[in-house]
Structure 1
Amino acid sequence: MWISALQVLLIALANAGSAEYLGYRLVYGTDDYQSVKRGLSRVTAKLESEESSADSGNPRKRQRRIAELKKQIKVYKEKATSMTMRTTLLMAGLQIAVFYFLNTVGFSGVVVAKLPFTPFGFVQGLSHRNLPGEDFTDCSAVFLFVVSSLFIRNVLQRYFDFSIRQVSPWSTAFEQAQETNL
């Protein structure tokens, strides 16, 4: 069981590593993306300094400058998102291929780990996928792969600092609601 779990973890590491490498080669390492990233950080710094400064000038002018900087940030983020779309599709295809391998060829019906809890609802369907028996603490290769690849990919992205930091959608929605109420 431990050897199978280690194999699945190594497959997840190889999958996440190759996906991030392809992402770097196709998007994150290109001059266009680096230019967008630098522009976004420059405009974000301007916005922060503009919002924090207690300028005694015209408040309407200041609000207009802040609104213009926010529009520029939105444009930069849209450019970055459109650039990363092709690697997202490529990574999804790679994930599907590995899922197919784990489900059919490699680890179908093989218990790779034992969970210390009984999973609930929809998680149970993934954690006990293609496993015989009724012991729902048995863990399938697909579940271990999904959990470990999500973790590994996140760690790799933070370590190499490829992606642009995302803002919480709730804070964006709150800001938009405030702007409409002005």
Structure 2
Amino acid sequence: MLRRGFLSMRSRLTAGDVDLAANALAERALELPELAHARTVAAYVSVGEEPGTLALLDALRARGVRVLLPVLLPDNDLDWGAYTGPDSLAPVRHGSRMALLEPVGERLGPEAVRQADAVLLPGLAVDARGMRLGRGGGSYDRVLARLERAGADPALVVLLYDTEVVERVPEEGHDRPVHAVVTPSGVRRFR
């Protein structure tokens, strides 16, 4: 029910709203020291009314950052591929879901995310404790568990709209807090 509410709010955004937010998000995110000093960033390509990421991906690449993007596997786990610009993306439909833009070229394996200095996470909301509400597919829960098992400690940053930073979201035992949230109006840190 909570997820449906956030998705409904997003569905009312215009393409202009999404574009304005994407540019502001890129500007705010690029100010983060965690991204300014990163050599490798695991990110994602936004779809639909998600806060836009392409401007940020291109800005990171322009800085010389290696950008890894997810490739959804049949079991909802994530493989990774390198982003080398808009031409390195192709739409891929996974069953009845919306088509995702995924990197073409070499697959680096699910463990490639361990090389990231920062991981940009999609979400629907984050609360005052830094707990992230995802879409419910579990893909990023697996990524976070993989990082934890490996002892990797990249900066975990979720990209959201201002209205998606809330007092509390439901939490399950496998959930992990993020370090920061970036919204069009600014950055909030959690630890």
Instruction: Give the TM-score, by structure 1 length.
Output: 0.24
Bigger strand share: 2
Bigger helix share: 1
Higher relative contact order, structure no. (Cα contacts within 8 Å, ≥ 6 residues apart) = 1
